[in-house]
Amino acid sequence: MVKICCIGAGYVGGPTMAVIALKCPAIEVVVVDISVARIAAWNSDQLPIYEPGLDDVVKQCRGRNLFFSTDIEKHVREADIIFVSVNTPTKTRGLGAGKAADLTYWESAARMIADVAKSDKIVVEKSTVPVKTAEAIEKILTHNSKGIRYQILSNPEFLAEGTAIQDLFSPDRVLIGGRETPEGRKAVQALKQVYANWVPEDRILTTNLWSAELSKLAANAFLAQRISSVNAISALCEATGANVAEVAFAVGKDSRIGPKFLNASVGFGGSCFQKDILNLVYICECNGLPEVANYWKQVIKINDYQKSRFVNRVVSSMFNTVAGKKIAVLGFAFKKDTGDTRETPAIDVCKGLLGDKAKISIYDPQVTEDQIQRDLAMNKFDWDHPVHLQPMSPTAVKAVSVTWDAYEATKGAHGVCILTEWEEFRKLDFAKIYESMQKPAFIFDGRNVVDPEELREIGFIVYSIGKPLDSWLKDMPAVV
């Protein structure tokens, strides 16, 4: 029986291994993690992450050929294939601070594998890692090999949160990069056979190590670039009276461009886009390509600009001050159908409003109060370290309250900011919300989920990103 061990029970390791276990009943899959609480959650009825369809997959396999354990060394020793999906945060100090990936967790995983291995292993990179990480990991393993042979493969994940299980069931492509040597090709073949249990042969791509590593960074950079492109156009639409939804629809009808990732919004979030682009920028700079680095930097600059533009809109519309005013924030996750708040635009928007002394009331159907308070108290990049190494959430954020109901959040508020496109926000009774709010009542739709005309008829002053401006807003400067 082939044994697979995955180090890291997070958003990537958990779902990926659960699906491998489901689709390959002949393989034993063990997910290991140093966090006792996280493993306990994976073994309970309340999984540590929310992902549609994940519960069913885990319940079908857990205890059969899918196991979650904190006994890392035992399972690494027994495994034939070891997936490593540990955190790769952005460095906050030292060489490459603010851009380069911090490979501390990766390196300690590699050293631990070298310490405990008693037989040949295939080690698979599953985290997003900078190009040439495999080479560094290979060096650590071979210099500590004690006669054991290792093959390093890169098998980046291309999951989208909210559809991760579907993405795993029928991926656009599975990418496996390995060394172009007989042993390397054999290792690639071994991993290919695992995926071939359910993925059609023509969707399993094999490349060299560096191509596989770079493809992941490039794919995320291209996706983020599309979002920043449409967001840049949204600012121009507001200035000229065009409608970004109509522009994006017309542009997306071109088959060469296609309609996906053309929704203007308050900005992109998620654990990968910003981190991967910063990484790409750093790699370009290290390789003497400053022009290329600057090109990709702009994608993040536009994203930051979009978030600060949104905050400026809120403040300038409300007589240039939100001090002491209650602002309801609907949605805190970085997109719908996930509880993930990593790099969510809501953090920057809330911090911007708090900086102007607003009182914020937040409602999100999937994010806990503890997570929200923690996110608002954390420094940049802290989220990407294991929970026990993150700063404890202080109770200092008194100006923020979290409710479990949209109507409660909006009661008595001067303004409402919609920051996540949860389906339930489309169905809210806005007439009821209007009645309970202070007047004039403002709605700032950062995801274009509501119909501005319908809300204006109720009496709201509405700002929708990239849509023609309410006459109220035309007199207010967008950029302070």
For 12-21, what is each residue's pLDDT tens digit? 999 999 999 9
Examine residue 479 and state whether it is found in any structural domain, yes or no. no
Angle between helices 13-23 and 54-61 (to 10 degrees): 50
Other beta carbons within 10 angstroms of residue 450's beta carbon come to: 19
The reported pLDDT for the residue numbered 476 is: 64
Q: Show the beta-strand stretches assigned E in 85-173.
A: 121-125, 150-154
Q: Is 350 annotated in the active site? A: no
Q: What is the CATH number of the domain that holds 291?
A: 3.40.50.720
Q: Mark which of 146, 169, 199 sits at the end of a domain.
A: 199
241 is in an annotated binding site: no
207 is in an annotated binding site: no
Examine residue 67 and state whether it is found in any structural domain, yes or no. yes
Examine residue 192 and state whether it is found in any structural domain, yes or no. yes
Mean pLDDT of the chain: 93
The reported pLDDT for the residue numbered 470 is: 87
Contact 197, 215 (CB under 8 A): no
Does 153 lie in the same domain as 17? yes
259 is in an annotated binding site: no
Dig out the tokens for 166 from the structure. 């579907």
Contact 90, 275 (CB under 8 A): yes
- Say what the pTM is: 0.91
Examine residue 42 and state whether it is found in any structural domain, yes or no. yes
Contact 333, 364 (CB under 8 A): yes
Contact 4, 83 (CB under 8 A): yes
Does 457 lie in the same domain as 357? yes
Task: Count helices and strands (H / E) in the chain.
Answer: 18, 14
Rounded distance, CA 308 to CA 238, Å? Answer: 15
Angle between helices 104-116 and 133-143 (to 10 degrees): 30
Rounded distance, CA 348 to CA 363, Å? Answer: 16
Does 179 lie in the same domain as 272? no
342 is in an annotated binding site: yes
Examine residue 216 and state whether it is found in any structural domain, yes or no. no
Does 192 lie in the same domain as 251? no
Q: Domain range holding 390?
A: 221-473
Segment 19-62, tens digit of pLDDT: 999 999 999 999 999 999 999 999 999 999 989 999 999 999 99
Rounded distance, CA 178 to CA 138, Å? Answer: 12
Average pLDDT across each block of 10 residues of the chain; the chain has 480 residues. List them in order.
93 96 97 95 94 96 97 97 91 89 90 94 87 85 91 93 94 96 97 97 95 93 97 96 97 97 96 90 95 97 96 93 96 93 95 94 95 88 70 62 96 98 97 98 97 97 94 67
Question: For residue 440, is the peptide bond before it cis, meaning its omega torsion is within 30 degrees of 0?
Answer: yes
Does 351 lie in the same domain as 237? yes
Examine residue 215 and state whether it is found in any structural domain, yes or no. no
89 is in an annotated binding site: yes
331 is in an annotated binding site: no
- H-only helix segments in 322-438: 345-355, 369-377, 406-410, 430-436
Does 242 lie in the same domain as 185? no
Segment 161-195, tens digit of pLDDT: 889 999 999 999 999 999 999 999 999 999 999 99
Does 143 lie in the same domain as 25? yes
Does 248 lie in the same domain as 193? no
The reported pLDDT for the residue numbered 173 is: 97
Residue appearing with tokens 């403040």: 315
Does 132 lie in the same domain as 65? yes
Does 273 lie in the same domain as 169? no
Query: Pick the catalytic residue: 5, 6, 61, 272?
Result: 272
Rounded distance, CA 123 to CA 391, Å? Answer: 32
Does 180 lie in the same domain as 59? yes
Examine residue 423 and state whether it is found in any structural domain, yes or no. yes
Examine residue 478 and state whether it is found in any structural domain, yes or no. no
Number of domains making up the chain: 2
321 is in an annotated binding site: no
Does 405 lie in the same domain as 257? yes
